[in-house]
Structure 1
Amino acid sequence: MISVVKRLSAMARAYAYNRDPRVAAANVISLLVASNQPFYPLYLFWLVSSDITAAWFTFLSTPFFVTVPAVARWNDAAGRALLPLAGIGNTMLSAWLFGTASAVEIFLVPCGVIALLVFRPRERVVGLALAALAFGIFLLLHDAYGQPLARYDAAQYAALARLNLVSASMLTAFVAILFSGILAQAERSADAARHEKTG
């Protein structure tokens, strides 16, 4: 069993690998989200309600997250753009499935943050456009989803909102830690280059 896990982990690392740290980060985030999606119905069952029918529809977005590294190999900008777009699409789907009372729209925050971080300064217009899309989706569609597929009482919606708030916060924190590591590596490389010049 341990050998199988190690083999799968090695395959995932190889699939996510890219020499460009921003592309590699987008790949890692996409696979993290995809690997966590199967657990969402379980969290819903344990913490909210035994009615998890709506949760199964969230798997419609899984292929988009899984294919981010493959798309990035073909075109790294397209791969990086696919990540926040898949997140925005999944958030819109979830808002329709569970209703805005579930606070699932909070996932638009990490979507916007990711969009701003995965693009280089010279590509900033793309990141800003995707972040603006995430913000615009909230402003334009918040009251336009209609009746949700899932129907929960007030206590269950409160539990679902807590689940989504914690999940979105953890994802945002993970993204921040990941890019903090990228910045630290860039600083170390710059320091080493300066030492070589002055040495």
Structure 2
Amino acid sequence: MIPLAANPEKRRYSFEQYITLLRNNDQRLEYDHGEIYAMAGSSANHAAISANMWRALDDALGEDATCRAYMVDRVVRLTPDVIVMPDVVVTCDRADQGDAFFLDSPSIVVEVLSKSTEARDRTYKLLRHQAKQSIQEIVLISQYVQHVEVITRTTSGWEYQEYGHEERFTLASLNATIRVSEIYRRLSIPIEKRTFMPLEIIEPADEQEDS
């Protein structure tokens, strides 16, 4: 992930300029207080993992579910000044469904980690997701080994769990259980353990969330 305008002046964009670029650009663009970040093109494994996760969520939701799972084409508005594009997102708010351009009330966000985005996904972006009151679960998926991390909102704060090959994880907000190997279906992804970047769950400071 790189700033769209990589220059010493660090050009800032208005929200309207961002929307214009987003509507006229095939590239995934995120917006953060005037800066636009162009998301690097995903690898074949990244795309396949995202699709497998979306399929697992869609199957878990069933035909009559009020919730919907979407892939990378949906834009999530965390605040008026912070717009992100998760790899997969679930919303149970009907206002977010159909032809809605923005998703304002996501319940689950999924990020497939890349070398260029992992540090930001685990720190700044994680805190932003935690501060969004509608988000109940944050899922981080490695594309290099079979490893899934789930951060869940509870009545006492945030709970962290990690899962490996052949284990199952539950998304409490949907009452859905998914097998890790299902996410890596038909992919030659190692199952060996690796040393992961430490993930310390920090309760985000209270932040006034704008509608």
Settle same-fold status: TM greater than 0.5: no
State the structure with more CA Rg: 1
Determine which structure has the larger strand proportion and give its number.
2
Higher percent of residues as helix: 1
Output the TM-score relative to the length of structure 1.
0.29
